[in-house]
A and B are shown apart, each in its own frame.
Chain A
Amino acid sequence: MTAAPEQIDVLDEAREQVLERGVGLSEQQVLKVLELADDRIPELLALAHEVRERWCGPEVEVEGIVSLKTGGCPEDCHFCSQSGQFPSPVRSAWLDIPGLVRAARQTRDTGATEFCIVAAVRGPDKRLLSQVRDGIKAIREDGNDIQIACSLGMLTQEQVDELVAMGVHRYNHNLETARSHFPNVVTTHSWEERWDTLRMIRDAGMEVCCGGIIGMGETLAQRAEFAVQLAELEPDEVPLNFLIPNPGTPYENYPVVEGAEALRTVGAFRLALPRTILRFAGGRELTFGDLGAKQGMLGGINAIIVGNYLTNLGRPAQQDLDMLEELSMPIKALSQTL
C-alpha cells in the first residue's frame, strides 16, 4: 500500500512563492485559495497584506472618477445600467467642460493623484475625443496637475496615439470577467477585441488599468481563470468591482456578493498579482459595508476610488480618507507618480 501524497497547504505555498519570490499564484492555486474555509480568511488576508507591503509598499493610491457621457451605450454588457439595450432608468447625459473641471478639482481636493474620465460608448468618436481634449486642457488651465486617466471603450491605433498626445497617462479597459464567461456577459463584442485594445495601450506606453466585476454568475474556477488572465496581461492597475444589481439590467436580481466570499476574492487576486495596484472599486459599499472595507484594505488592496462612481454613489470621500488615517496607511503623493 502506498501512502497518499502529502497535501501542501496553498497558503504555505503562497508564503514561499508569492511573498518571498514575488511569483503570482497559478490558476489551480488561486482556485484553492477561493475554496478556503471561512475560518482561514484572516490568515489569507494577513498574508495578502504582507505581500502587498513587500511588493507594492505601504502607500495607497487614491482616485476619483466621473462620467463624461452617461447612458445610451449601444453595447449589451449585462451588468451595466448605461446600456441602451435594457429598460434601465438611467437616461443619457453629457457633462460639460466646466462640470468636468469642477469634478477634477473635487477629486484633487481629496488628495487623489488620479482622475479618470469615463464614457459609456463602444469606442470614442471625434466629438467625444474633442470633448476629452478640451476637458484636459481646461483642467490644466485650472491649475490642476492631477494625473488623467481615460476609459472610453475600444480604441483604434490612431485614437491611442491621440490620447497619448493629450497626456493621458493611464487607460482603463476592463476585461470584466474570465474569457470563458465573457460571452454570457457581453454579446456585442468579444473578449479578444478588448484584449487587442489593451495591447495597443501597453505598446503605446500608457499605463494599463484592467479589472472586472465579481458576482456575475461566474464559477469559482472562472474567477481563478480571470485572475490569471489578468496576471498574464501584466496590468499596472486592477480595479476590483463587486456587482451592483441595477434595475432594468439582466442582472438586476442577482445576489450581492457575500462579504466573506468577497474578502477571499480580494486575497486571492492579491496573491495572483503581487506587484499590481489592486483597487477597491464599485460595489464595495453593498458587499462589505464599513467593517469589510477595512478588512479589504488590510487584505491586499492598495488603491481606492473615493467619492461617487459613474451612476452609483460611494461613501463620502472623507470617510475613506479617515479610514486610511485610522489604518495608518499613507496616501500616495502626486510627486511619487510623476
Chain B
Amino acid sequence: MTVFCSFCGKAEADGDHAFCRQRLSMIDPPRYCAECARRMVVQVTPDGWAARCSRHGEITSAR
C-alpha cells in the first residue's frame, strides 16, 4: 500500500511528486517507507539496493 512518497516522505496525496518520481526512476533508492513514512536503513550495492523499515520490513531492488 503506497501512502507516502518514498523519495520525500510526504503523503502521496499531498502535492505534486513528479520530481520525486523522476529521481526514484533515475538515481535514488527509496528512503522513506511507503506505508508509514519512517526513514529506512538503505544499503546500495553495485547491482541493487535493500531498504529496511523498522516496522514494515525490508524491500529490495530485486523485489
Which residues of A are interface residues toward B (Cβ below 8 A)?
A: 64-67, 70, 89-93, 95, 99, 102-103, 106-107, 110, 244, 247, 285-286, 306-314, 316-317
Contacts and interface: CB of A to CB of B under 8 A. Distances in A.
Given A91-B39, A95-B43, A285 B26 contact: yes
Interface of B: 7-9, 26-29, 31-32, 39-49
Nearest to A102: B45
Nearest to A96: B43
A89 B4 CA distance: 14
A67 B39 CA distance: 18
A106 B44 contact: no
A102 B60 CA distance: 15
Given A308-B46, A308-B47, A317-B46, A93 B26 contact: no
B42 A312 contact: no
A244 B9 CA distance: 19
A313 B28 contact: yes
How would you classify the secondary structure of chain A's contact residues: helix, strand, loop or mixed?
loop
A90 B32 CA distance: 10
Given A102-B45, A311-B42, A312-B28, 5 more contacts: A65-B46, A66-B45, A90-B31, A95-B45, A308-B48
Contacts of B29: 311, 313
B45 A106 contact: yes
A309 B8 CA distance: 20
Contacts of B39: 89, 91
Nearest to B22: A286
B46 A313 contact: no
Contacts of A99: 43, 45
Nearest to A313: B27
30 contacts: A64-B46, A65-B46, A66-B45, A67-B43, A70-B42, A89-B9, A89-B31, A89-B32, A90-B31, A91-B39, A91-B40, A93-B41, A93-B42, A99-B43, A99-B45, A102-B45, A103-B46, A107-B46, A247-B31, A285-B27, A286-B27, A308-B45, A309-B44, A310-B44, A312-B27, A312-B44, A313-B27, A313-B29, A313-B44, A316-B47
Given A89-B39, A91-B40, A93-B41, A106 B47 contact: yes
A67 B44 contact: yes
Contacts of B28: 312-313
Nearest to A89: B31
B41 A92 contact: yes
Given A89-B39, A247-B8, A106 B46 contact: yes
B42 to A, nearest CB: 7
Among all A-B residue pairs, the 5 with the closest Cβ atoms: A307-B46, A89-B31, A64-B46, A106-B46, A312-B27
A111 to B, nearest CB: 13
Contacts of A312: 27-28, 44
A93 to B, nearest CB: 5
A94 to B, nearest CB: 9
B49 to A, nearest CB: 7
A103 B41 contact: no
Nearest to B40: A91
A259 B54 CA distance: 40
A314 B8 CA distance: 20
